[in-house]
Chains A and B, each alone.
Chain A
Amino acid sequence: NAGVTQTPKFRVLKTGQSMTLLCAQDMNHEYMYWYRQDPGMGLRLIHYSVGEGTTAKGEVPDGYNVSRLKKQNFLLGLESAAPSQTSVYFCASSYSPVYEQYFGPGTRLTVT
């Protein structure tokens, strides 16, 4: 089992460019999450999904969109990147919101 994987690992964007981050899990989890972590800070929830075809906003959703067309994949999109979106992005999945979340290795994004 690969667990939770994220693509890409690193990316540099110019302001205004767009990109999509891919998260994949092979544990058949219903719940998936996207977080961002800024230097010296904890993780903040961007969007989450409670099952295939569903998405919902978290704490800091502005500037991001998500899609969950397949149960195993959760995509995070930035339509027009801004320097304030420079961060490390973590994807996670879980069987239920009560149980442990499994995190991916993260994507380090820099927007110049």
Chain B
Amino acid sequence: LAKTTQPISMDSYEGQEVNITCSHNNIATNDYITWYQQFPSQGPRFIIQGYKTKVTNEVASLFIPADRKSSTLSLPRVSLSDTAVYYCLVGGDTGFQKLVFGTGTRLLVSP
């Protein structure tokens, strides 16, 4: 199963764009890349998922280079409410039971 590496923490200000990069050097052919957001005292919430190139939804974009060994979650114009922990997961139909929510990236957005 692909191991992921993310920064432990990031700081930003309201209105800025935030990019969180996740490294997954041994990603398998059938693996998808999924990002979750977790607020204190709540369960994680799905943000976005992708396989290759770029995926965009109403809250974020996910950039995946051709070699798929990394991915970048982009949050446009963050607000205070985006302060949370962000997890990058890599996995597919097989080995999913070994999916690991690591310690994630703790994003702090300041006024």
Contacts and interface: CB of A to CB of B under 8 A. Distances in A.
A100 B49 CA distance: 8
A48 B101 contact: no
Interface residues of B, number: 23
Interface stretch (A11-19, A35-43, A62-70, A71-79): A35-43
A2 interface: no
B92 A98 contact: yes
Contact of B93 (A4, A35, A98): A98
Contact of A42 (B32, B34, B104): B104
Measured as residues with beta carbon below 8 angstroms from the partner, the interface class of chain A is 20 to 34
A27 interface: no
A56 B43 contact: no
B97 A100 contact: no
A101 B46 contact: yes
Contacts of A103: 42-45
A43 B104 CA distance: 10
B102 interface: yes
Contacts of B41: 106
A59 B98 contact: yes
A102 to B, nearest CB: 8
A83 interface: no
A20 to B, nearest CB: 19
Interface in B31-55: 32, 34, 36, 41-46, 49
A96 interface: yes
Contacts of A101: 36, 44, 46
16 contacts: A41-B103, A42-B103, A43-B44, A45-B99, A56-B97, A90-B43, A92-B43, A96-B93, A97-B93, A97-B96, A98-B91, A98-B92, A100-B46, A101-B44, A105-B42, A106-B43
